[in-house]
Amino acid sequence: MRVPDADSGAVSLHSHAVPRTTHTMNLDQVAEINERLAATSLSTADIGLEAPAGVLAEIVLEGSPTFGYLWARLRAGGQEAGRVLLHTDQLKAISRALHLAHHHWGL
């Protein structure tokens, strides 16, 4: 978190633990997933989604980071193939499939 100093106006960085009860999404997890998706192929079937068929291109946030929605942008046949809303079970499956055991989704 960036905190401006009242006297000098300088900005310092402070880290803090996010309580398990917060709704704030860990955007670092999304960035890490997107890095892995750029280097591998993960299909909707791999994460338990039967339709629409496609490969996950990237995860995008819609709305506020405090309580937003995560969507998977899909590709099929080298072209965009729509998007699908991701729920906690799919986010856990994505992290598991990409060997990101340190990710935590949901409460």
* pLDDT for the residue 5: 53
pTM of the model: 0.75
CB within 8 Å of 76: residues ≥ 6 apart:
53, 54, 55
| Domain range list for the chain | 20-97
Strand-pairing partners, residue 33, are: none
Write out residues in the chain with pLDDT < 70, as ranges.
Answer: 1-25, 107
